[in-house]
């Protein structure tokens, strides 16, 4: 039996080769892999001896050869194939271990296009595909994580068709992901990221309990190991809906840097938010906005949950808590709660991957766009349109209201007072309805919105929203501006003594 080993990532390859050698396998190798195996005392055949042709064109051609691919692809159970292989002098290659040139690492390290081109693997994917196609006779190994499994299967006689089939699927996933990454990079470099085709690939992290509903299956997939490195399940099993809610809460809570931000989300929409001197104070104030909706909700904590905060959170039923981390004492507080799910990122503050692109499934396909960014300077650089200027606290409240509004379903209006959200209306067909709904809810909760700052993620088309805000006692408003009736809106703000700012940027979320 012969194995061809040719890897860019050489972790574990020496141990794997030694294991194969001990089982009586003959080892063939190329370039750097050949050198490493030889240096470690492994008897290895250089690829030139197999191909009977020298590596050429600066290494661009070395395994693209009939002696290699014939050895991989001929059917071991087909008499005609066996006869032809004997006639041509083609010997079988029964295991192929390949991982590909580090294209991703190259594009992250340099913008030199010549170097990038040279790190597009040709021979590697070709060998992988050949071996995967002939999986009934050949083992294809593309991940160092599988080295031990393969050796175990060979040692214990469990090298079954099903085992090889699983490796085959992983191999085609490997080459598909690799080619997709190259195509997407080329389109980003030359077509502004919008080519004839768009490839979205992700690696499975775990299966969810179910999809949006129990009769649906679901799973979490990741880009660039984000969840593997920043998402630890400490308690409970996440559902599909849990993860989408966590995403909404995480985006809002993490958008305030190192501040003690806490966001409470229910069914994808924020129902509480606050930034105070401590996380405990932040949670207490965030909960006041809508404690009814918070029941069974998802909480994102931009910091570490300690025992005191855990006890406070444990007073009501919360379905999910995502935090930078939890102290051991805090985890003990939640031990008796069977239904709660706890997730930690492992740091001191929440982080986001900040994906460059965003997409949404629609029936028959998907729409794809550059990701929206609510930048910190949007509020700081907003244009004062009214006679009255906002105070420092009002500017802070405007910033909070603006960011929350931009990350909440349109149409949306957010009211913030003393760094805590006191009312929110979201997902409405009318902006006026969103404002009125928010105020009605605040009244039911016994919250005073007078002196609050208000944000709308899109412009107010008429002055009626300003008049309504004035009736509620709003003292400052921020919106994109851009309506043909902006002058009427500004006039209304001045009549009511309200500070009014235009960001000139809108943030619809549908």
Spatial distance between the Cα atoms of 283 and 287, rounded to a whole number of angstroms: 6
More confident residue, 137 or 57: 137
Do residues 289 and 421 make contact, with C-beta atoms less than 8 angstroms apart? yes
Count CB-CB contacts under 10 A for residue 218. 16
DSSP 8-class letter at 24: T
174 is catalytic: no
**Active-site annotation holds for 133:** yes
pLDDT of residue 431: 79
pLDDT band of 374, cuts 50, 70, 90: confident
Catalytic residue among 104, 170, 232, 267: 267
Asked if pLDDT for residue 338 goes beyond 90, the answer is no
Measured distance CA(337)–CA(373) in Å, rounded: 37
How far is it, in rounded angstroms, from Cα 335 to Cα 314? Answer: 10
Q: How confident is the model at residue 440 (pLDDT cuts 50, 70, 90)?
A: confident
* Backbone torsions φ then ψ of 273, nearest 5 degrees: -160, 140
State residue 464's pLDDT score.
Answer: 84
First to last CA, the chain: 58
Q: Is the per-residue pLDDT at 506 higher than 90? A: no
pLDDT at residue 179 is higher than 90:
yes
What is the Cα–Cα distance from 470 to 461, expressed in whole angstroms?
16
* All structural domains of the chain with their residue ranges: 2-190, 230-344, 376-502
Confidence at 163, pLDDT banded by 50, 70, 90: very high
Burial of 289 (0-12, 13-18, 19+ CB in 10 A): buried
Q: Is the pLDDT of residue 311 over 90?
A: yes
Say whether pLDDT at 453 is over 90.
Answer: yes
Q: Tell me: domain 230-344, CATH 3.90.1150.10, correct?
A: no
Q: What is the CATH number of domain 2-190?
A: 3.40.50.1380
**Reported confidence tier of residue 444, pLDDT bands at 50, 70, 90:** confident
Residue 508: predicted pLDDT: 86
Annotated catalytic residue within 10, 81, 133, 170: 133
Residue 494 has pLDDT above 90, yes or no: yes
Distances (CA, A) of 281 to 287, 309, 353, 397, 468: 10, 9, 28, 16, 30
Q: What is the mean pLDDT of the chain?
A: 93
Residues 64/122, Cβ–Cβ less than 8 Å: yes
Instruction: Answer whether 230-344 and 376-502 agree in fold.
Output: yes
What is the spatial order of strands in the sheet that 269-275 belongs to? Answer: 232-235, 341-344, 320-326, 298-305, 261-266, 269-275, 420-425, 413-417, 453-456, 476-479, 499-502, 383-384
Q: Is the confidence at residue 219, as pLDDT, over 90?
A: yes
Q: What is the mean pLDDT of residues 228-241?
A: 93
Is there a contact between 426 and 269 (Cβ–Cβ < 8 Å)? yes
The whole model's pTM is what?
A: 0.88
Asked if the model's pLDDT at residue 308 lies above 90, the reply is yes
Q: How confident is the model at residue 306 (pLDDT cuts 50, 70, 90)?
A: very high
User: Which CATH number among 3.40.50.300, 3.50.50.60, 3.40.1360.10, 3.40.140.20 corresponds to the domain 376-502?
Assistant: 3.40.140.20
């Amino acid at each position: 039996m012969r194995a061809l080993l040719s890897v860019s990532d050489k972790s574990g390859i020496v141990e794997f080769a030694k294991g194969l050698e001990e089982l009586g396998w003959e080892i063939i190798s190329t370039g750097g892999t050949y050198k490493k195996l030889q240096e470690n005392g492994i008897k290895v055949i250089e690829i030139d001896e197999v191909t009977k042709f020298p590596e050429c064109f600066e290494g661009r051609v070395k395994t693209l050869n009939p002696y290699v691919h014939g050895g991989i692809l001929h059917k071991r159970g087909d008499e005609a194939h066996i006869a032809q292989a004997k006639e041509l002098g083609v010997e079988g290659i029964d295991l192929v271990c390949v991982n590909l040139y580090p294209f991703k690492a190259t594009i992250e390290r340099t913008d030199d296009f010549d170097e990038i081109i040279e790190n597009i693997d040709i021979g590697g994917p070709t060998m992988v595909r050949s071996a995967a196609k002939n999986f009934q006779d050949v083992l294809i190994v593309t991940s160092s994580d599988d080295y031990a499994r393969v050796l175990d299967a060979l040692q214990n006689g469990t090298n079954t068709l099903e085992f090889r089939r699983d490796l085959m699927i992983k191999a085609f996933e490997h080459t598909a992901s690799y080619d997709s990454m190259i195509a997407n990079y080329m389109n980003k470099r030359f077509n502004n990221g919008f080519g004839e085709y768009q490839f979205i690939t992700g690696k499975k992290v775990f299966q969810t309990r179910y999809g949006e509903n129990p009769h649906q299956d679901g799973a979490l997939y990741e880009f660039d190991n984000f969840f593997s490195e920043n998402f630890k399940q400490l308690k409970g099993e996440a559902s599909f809906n849990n993860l989408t809610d966590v995403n909404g809460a995480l985006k809002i809570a993490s958008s305030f840097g190192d501040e003690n931000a806490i966001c409470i989300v229910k069914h994808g929409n924020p129902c509480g938010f606050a930034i105070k001197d401590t996380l405990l104070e932040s949670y207490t104030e965030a909960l006041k906005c809508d404690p009814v909706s918070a029941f069974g909700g998802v909480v994102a904590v931009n910091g570490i949950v300690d025992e005191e905060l855990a006890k406070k959170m444990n007073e009501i039923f919360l379905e999910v808590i995502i935090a930078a981390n939890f102290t051991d004492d805090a985890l003990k507080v939640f031990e008796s709660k069977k239904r709660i799910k706890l997730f930690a990122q492992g740091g001191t503050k929440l982080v986001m991957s900040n994906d460059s692109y965003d997409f949404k499934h629609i029936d028959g396909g998907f729409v794809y766009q550059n990701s929206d960014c609510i930048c910190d300077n949007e509020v700081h650089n907003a244009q004062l349109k009214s006679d009255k200027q906002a105070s420092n606290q009002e500017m802070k409240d405007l910033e909070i209201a603006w960011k929350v509004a931009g990350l909440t379903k349109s149409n949306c209006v957010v009211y913030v007072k003393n760094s805590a959200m006191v009312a929110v209306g979201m997902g409405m067909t009318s902006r006026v309805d969103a404002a009125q709904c928010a105020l009605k809810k605040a009244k039911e909760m016994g919250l005073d919105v007078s002196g609050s700052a208000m944000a709308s993620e899109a412009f107010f088309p008429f002055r009626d929203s300003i008049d309504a805000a004035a009736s509620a006692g709003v003292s400052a408003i921020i919106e994109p501006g851009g309506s043909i009736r902006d002058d009427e809106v500004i006039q209304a703000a001045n009549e009511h003594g309200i500070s009014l700012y235009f960001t000139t940027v809108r943030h619809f979320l549908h």
